[in-house]
Amino acid sequence: MLYLIATPIGNLKDITLRAIETLKECDLILCEDTRHSSHLLEHLEIKKPLISFHQFNEAKREEEVLSLLRQGKKIALISDAGTPAISDPGEALVKRLRLEGVPVSPIPGPSSVITALAASGLGTIPFQFLGFFPRTQLETRKTLAAIALFEGTSLFFESPERLLQTLEILSHVGSDWEIVIARELTKTFEEFVRGTPSEVLEKFKGRKILGEIVVLARPAQTLLQKELETMDAKALAEQLQELFDLPLKDAIKIAASWKGISKQNVYREFT
């Protein structure tokens, strides 16, 4: 059995009784960073073998883990903070185990995404989680289009070093969007900063920014909201190209998905 165990996102008191109990019962623990996780386990007075399991070695570890599970071993998977396999190592392993018929059991607990959403004051339904904000220009444009087209709250992670740059981008594309920066969740200096992208940018300029950051964004009015129902996929793709400087193939893919039709059908409209 593989146990996906959520761990604290800042405050060590947020570990659940069931998580502690399961960690004590497991034969070994897979963790993102053995040094980081050893501090948590020492705090909980748990002594178990730790095996590193991160984005650079998880593919190689997969067969080893599968073999141990087939031998009847109880294995826990934890990340540095929050729930494993959610924008953290473990997603591919869980998929493989499900396909192989190996049981996987989630031990729920802290989640920075749900914590930030619940306390943000923005709408909570619907919402979408986009992982870490992209680094490349093309992926950034596609993410911005996904936020603008979504009739709800979008959440993503960002690093302290890149926050100002990302806020600058948001201020150009979504000047009337409502955003919230949730920082240092559950810790002593927990902070929620709300406003338009430009307003929030001004609040963070000149500050030393530290800690894990969740960015929440909700467009004041969904892109072309009034026209979307009557606009055909070709027109939507053209609008996406113009507004977000997207390559035609990406604009077509997004438009086709939004309209629920085949992208090949949209391609034919341009030929």
**Whole-prediction pTM value?**
0.87
Neighbours of 217 (CB within 10 A): 22
Asked if residues 223 and 238 have their Cβ atoms less than 8 Å apart, the reply is: no
φ/ψ bin of 220: left (φ > 0), alpha (ψ from -120 to 50), beta (otherwise) = alpha
| Cα–Cα distance for residue pair 229/75, rounded to 1 Å | 49
Residue boundaries of the structural domains of the chain: 2-110, 113-218, 225-269
Which residue in the block uniquely carries the two structure tokens 């591919």?
92
Output the pLDDT for position 99: 95
Tens of pLDDT, residues 70-103:
999 999 999 999 999 998 899 999 999 999 999 9
Cα 16 to Cα 11, 89, 103, distances in angstroms:
12, 21, 21
Per CATH, the number for 113-218 is 3.30.950.10
| Cα–Cα distance for residue pair 143/260, rounded to 1 Å | 19
Closest to 195 in 3D by CA, of 177, 174, 207:
177
The pair of structure tokens assigned to 83 is 């729930």
Output the pLDDT for position 154: 98
Residues with Cβ within 8 Å of residue 46, at least 6 apart in sequence: 20, 23, 24
Tens of pLDDT, residues 10-41:
999 999 999 999 999 999 999 999 999 999 99
| Cα–Cα distance for residue pair 262/97, rounded to 1 Å | 32
Cα 242 to Cα 33, 89, 127, 143, 267, distances in angstroms:
43, 36, 26, 15, 17
Output the pLDDT for position 227: 62
Cα 238 to Cα 147, 241, 249, 255, distances in angstroms:
17, 5, 11, 9
**DSSP, residue by residue, 75-133:** EEEE-SSB-TTSSSTTHHHHHHHHHHT--EEEE----HHHHHHHHH-S--SSEEEEEEP
H-assigned helices in the chain: 17-25, 34-43, 58-70, 91-100, 112-120, 137-149, 163-173, 197-204, 225-228, 233-244, 248-259, 263-269
Strand 178-183 and strand 213-218: the pairing is antiparallel
Output the pLDDT for position 209: 96
Tens of pLDDT, residues 196-253:
999 999 999 999 999 999 999 999 765 555 566 677 888 888 888 888 888 888 888 8
Sign of CA dihedral 158, 162, 164, 167: negative
Output the pLDDT for position 119: 98
Q: Quick check: 50 pLDDT over 90?
A: yes
The pair of structure tokens assigned to 112 is 């920075």
The pair of structure tokens assigned to 14 is 């947020």
Per CATH, the number for 2-110 is 3.40.1010.10
